[in-house]
Chain A
Amino acid sequence: MVIEQTYFIRGGDFSHAGDASSKVKKLLKQLGVDARKIKNIVIALYEAEVNIVAHAWEGMIRISIEADRISCTLEDKGPGIEDIGQAMVEGYSTASKEVREMGFGAGMGLSNIKRNTDVLEITSEVGVGTKVYMVNYF
């Protein structure tokens, strides 16, 4: 059994930030996935979703649920990340002043993602976009 879903994310649209994560959470609950695992997945997915909203122009989230895992691929068209190593450092952020005033952009997002996923791969091309691939085992 494989369940696949795709969600479209618009850059800058904070009024719908988290909608895709919320749908995935409901789906995992229906499938009876362990609550602690759902928590980890939801934390990572929300942060990655918000990153597209806060930084990119648009993006797609594709999720694939198999018997023992969920794989999430988030691909955006956006400014890309110049130095992924630096972006991974807790507290480092390139978020705008407006985004920070909302309580985002504390430089905690990528660490939250890393802490809550079993596999995390980030590839990026400056001026083109970023791809985040993450896997959580049930």
Chain B
Amino acid sequence: MKVSDLIIALNLHLFCGDDGLDNEVSGAYVSDLLSDVMGFAKEGEVWITLQTHQNVLAVASLRDLPAVILVKGLEPDAEMRQHSEREGIPVLGTSMPTFELAGRLYMLLKGME
């Protein structure tokens, strides 16, 4: 599944990082602790978080994550947007809270939705 497929299926907002719309998504990781994601997320997992600063993109890039999804209507700050464009890692958004988004995404990735 590609990042663009997620956007359509879950009606996500695309803030920036259009160059990465074809990035492959194999799973997801939910965390707001950067070291947790750094140490334990796997390549290909989209990152669901409420952190909106550019260090998120530094971690996403170092760990080859295909996209970041911000929950609860949160928006990336200016530096996060720039970093996203530079790295080609899309930052997406939703008004859903983490639990609901993670549940929907889980069903989608497991072919249950």
Contacts and interface: CB of A to CB of B under 8 A. Distances in A.
Interface of A: 14-15, 17-19, 21-22, 25, 39, 42-43, 46-47, 50, 102-104, 106, 108-109, 111-112, 115-116
Given A25-B62, A46-B59, A103-B33, A115 B39 contact: yes
B54 interface: yes
Contact of B51 (A14, A17, A42, A102): A102
**Overall SS of chain B's interface:** helix
Interface in B38-95: 38-39, 43, 49, 51, 53-56, 58-59, 61-63, 79
Contacts of B61: 18, 22
B79 to A, nearest CB: 6
Chain B's interface size range is 20 to 34
Nearest to A111: B39
Given A102-B51, A102-B53, A103-B51, A18 B58 contact: yes
B5 interface: no
Given A15-B54, A43-B63, A115-B39, 11 more contacts: A17-B58, A18-B61, A22-B58, A42-B62, A46-B58, A102-B51, A103-B32, A103-B51, A104-B34, A112-B38, A112-B39
15 contacts: A14-B53, A14-B55, A18-B59, A18-B61, A39-B63, A43-B38, A43-B62, A46-B58, A103-B32, A103-B33, A103-B34, A103-B49, A103-B56, A108-B39, A112-B39
Contacts of B79: 15
Given A15-B79, A102-B51, A103-B51, A112 B58 contact: no
Contact of A103 (B39, B43, B55): B55
B35 A108 contact: yes
Contacts of B63: 39, 42-43
Nearest to B33: A106
A46 B63 CA distance: 11
